[in-house]
Chains A and B, each alone.
Chain A
């Protein structure tokens, strides 16, 4: 009887919450976030491309055009190297121009790889030009 009553007695425990392992848990979470977070910023070029309607409006006879045929580059129908293209774009002084005079038409053939397209797009954007893409049906 006395044993039973002892067993039924509530054990008086200290009511403190064990917080010793909190810092361990927290640091584990920090390690998780450090691993899962993408801290690396990608590198890119910025190109504001007008929509189709604007591009169509911008097409005039005097608008300079860059034509990519495979790995070859043509500027106003004259074959140029990439360095020459950069020089010609710089000569246009596009940042000083306004509105539609900054538009450069960019045409390309079907076999043009993205690498040369990207380089040309980057060169035009860096020179202050606004790239207007010319689609197949627009050329016809």
Chain B
């Protein structure tokens, strides 16, 4: 005696898929940090002491191979512009955690190009977060 198997159509419940998807979108909107950085051509310096940045940064300053200076992705003329920019950003800060300023610079640039920028960050009251790569 053979029993006939009853084949039931099992519909996958997809009604809530849209809701789940929109919840995921809201999650990404809230959590994402859209990059203000431009894709710069630079070689990062290396050190054994670098760690993943744990704090949020108030401003991002970068200097590419040609010594062109960027403040939050926008090119600026000189270190003085950086100082005023950082001063403006840090004007309403109350805690030290809010004073971190990220600085990305090409490893081969000479002192006369990068040091005025570091000095400007210090003068404006920022805590330097110098970006580098972990030395293997």
Docked-complex contact B21 and A133, CB < 8 angstroms: no
Q: Is A119 an interface residue (CB 8 A)?
A: yes
Contact between A123 and B107, CB atoms less than 8 A apart = no
A98-133: CB near B (< 8 Å → 1, else 0) gives 000000000011111111011101110110000001
Q: Which of B51, B122, B130 is in CB contact (< 8 Å) with A118?
A: B130
Residues of the B chain whose Cβ atoms lie less than 8 Å from the Cβ of A23: 14, 17-18, 21
Q: Does B118 contact A (CB under 8 A)?
A: yes
Contact A26 B25 (CB under 8 A): yes
Q: How far is A49 from B35 in the complex, measured between Cα atoms in Å? A: 26
Measured between beta carbons, the chain B residues less than 8 angstroms from A49 are: 118, 121-122, 127-128
Q: Is the CB of B47 within 8 A of A119?
A: yes
CA distance A115 to B44 in the complex (A): 8
Which one of B28, B34, B49, B110 lies within 8 Å of A45 (CB-CB)?
Answer: B49
> Cβ of B35 and Cβ of A38 under 8 Å apart?
yes
Instruction: Give chain B nearest CB distance to A71 CB in angstroms.
Output: 12
Contact residue among B17, B34, B51, B121 (Cβ-Cβ distance under 8 Å from A38): B34
Instruction: Digitize A72-110: 1 where CB-to-B-CB distance is under 8 Å, 0 elsewhere.
Output: 000000000000000000000000000000000000111
B38: CB under 8 A from chain A? Answer: no
A-B contact count (CB 8 A): 145
The verdict on B41 contacting chain A, using a C-beta distance below 8 Å, is no
Interface size, chain B (Cβ < 8 Å): 50
Q: Is B32 an interface residue (CB 8 A)?
A: yes
B118 touches A111 (CB 8 A): no
A26 partner residues in chain B, CB cutoff 8 A: 18, 21-22, 24-25
Interface size class on chain A is: 35 or more
Cβ A50 vs Cβ B122 within 8 A:
yes
Q: Which residues of A contact B52 (CB under 8 A)?
A: 41-43
For residue B105, CB closer than 8 A to chain A, the reply is yes
- A33-56 interface bits toward B, Cβ cutoff 8 Å, 1 = contact, 0 = none: 110111001111111111110000
Q: Are B122 and A133 in contact (CB under 8 A)?
A: yes
| Inter-subunit contact A125/B45 (CB<8 Å) | no
CB distance from A124 to the nearest CB of B (A): 10
B50 contacts A110, CB within 8 Å?
no
Please name 6 further chain A to chain B contacts, defined as beta carbons within 8 Å, in addition to the given A30-B24, A112-B110, sorted by A numbering: A36-B34, A38-B35, A44-B132, A46-B55, A49-B122, A125-B49
Can you name 15 A-B residue pairings with CB atoms under 8 Å? Answer: A22-B22, A30-B25, A33-B29, A43-B50, A44-B50, A46-B127, A49-B118, A52-B119, A108-B115, A110-B110, A114-B107, A114-B114, A118-B107, A119-B46, A122-B49
